[in-house]
Amino acid sequence: MVLRIVKREMYMKLYVGNLPFSHSEEDVRRIFAAYSTVTNCTLVKDAETGRSRGFAFVELSSDDEARNAISDLHNKQVGTRALVVNEARPRESRPPRDGGRDRDDRRPFNKNRR
């Protein structure tokens, strides 16, 4: 029996909040490129308007450099805003959204409607 060990690269994922709405994904990449290689950058945008929602997730190639970025950039003024930078937490599971009512409480289909 042969076991093969595959090493998977894991990068530290950072949450970056309170970004100016005018910032693009490239602007966010430039901020973090001074600290480490940016392996992934996702600027979260509004689905309807395409406008930035003011936060992003950035993955850096080195945990030590990511920690340095957190300590240097957290509360740093960018434009008129103080950035919030910390290690991203895993997404919490949430129950499906159904308008605030239980599925059993829904009104029955109107059979008299033509």
Count CB-CB contacts under 10 A for residue 70: 18
Q: Does 72 map to a domain?
A: yes
| CATH code of the domain covering residue 80 | 3.30.70.330
> Picking from 44-53, 89-98, 102-111, which range would have the lowest pLDDT averaged per residue?
102-111
| Residue keyed to tokens 């300590």 | 71
- Domain containing residue 24: 12-87
Mean pLDDT, range 1-14, rounded to an integer: 66
Q: Does 4 map to a domain?
A: no
Q: Does 100 map to a domain?
A: no
Model confidence at 3: pLDDT above 80: no
Cα dist from 78 to 9, 51, 54, 82, 89, whole Å: 31, 18, 12, 6, 23
Mean pLDDT, range 21-26, rounded to an integer: 95
Total domains in the chain come to 1
Indicate the pTM of the whole model. Answer: 0.73
